[in-house]
Amino acid sequence: MNVSQAIKQRHSVRAFLNKSVSEQTIKNIFETARFAASGVNMQPWQVAIVSGKTKQTLQDAMINAFRDGQTETMDYHYYPQEWVAPYKARRVATGTQLYEVLHIQRGDKEARLKQWEANYRAFDAPIMLLFFIDPSLETGSYLDYGLFLQNIMLLAEEAGLSTCPQGALAEFPSLIKKQLNIDESQILIGGMALGYEDKEHVVNQYRTPRIEPEEFCTFYH
């Protein structure tokens, strides 16, 4: 597999097989992912790799909080506070695709909430990755973090694994940090599901569209 193949093959997987991922495989991914570029080589990433009983306890805590209507303020604004074109339309289209393939009707609030709960289980992937950054760092380090996350996803593809990057896993920062005994000052950027794709599940059959390069590239000669 070359880089182009890995990029085009990668997609957000929302159903995983009940199949464990070896610790050595995970170590191999991070052994290479760490070579991501970062400004003045700051390497701002800190990763919690959660599985087994710890994952079960953590996801149960998040789901119970969600069902009880508890909310937390995220450590930073992942999404815009006001949606404008064209981003609002893309967001709506993506959600529509997901619910259509799952046959969830617009008015079926219970089914929609149940599907959202799956986020807090990392879609039943055996591994939940949680990403933290030091609060002293600025926007440039968040850009660097994105390079690191892309490395993880592409290396997972190479290893025969799949991923789903998840902003939803940053919705309960205090709960997560308390459960994992992580310094409250650390900023929870988000998470990622990691495991083996259930290729038969309908939720993994659709693909979101991408705009053409002509729509976002301008050449200056």
Residue 181 belongs to domain with CATH number? 3.40.109.10
Domain housing 48: 19-81+120-215
138 located within any domain: yes
| Closest to 45 measured CA to CA, from 165, 171, 130 | 130
Cis peptide leading into 86, omega within 30 of 0? yes
Tokens of 88: 């609002």
Domains: count for the chain: 1
What percent of the chain lies above the pLDDT cut of 70? 100
204 located within any domain: yes
What confidence tens digit (pLDDT) does each residue in 18-69 have? Answer: 999 999 999 999 999 999 999 999 999 999 999 999 999 999 999 999 999 9
Q: How confident is the model at residue 180 (pLDDT cuts 50, 70, 90)?
A: very high
Asked whether residue 106 carries a pLDDT value surpassing 90, the answer given is no
The letter for the amino acid at 183 is D
Asked whether residue 107 carries a pLDDT value surpassing 90, the answer given is no
87 located within any domain: no
Q: What is the pTM of this model?
A: 0.95
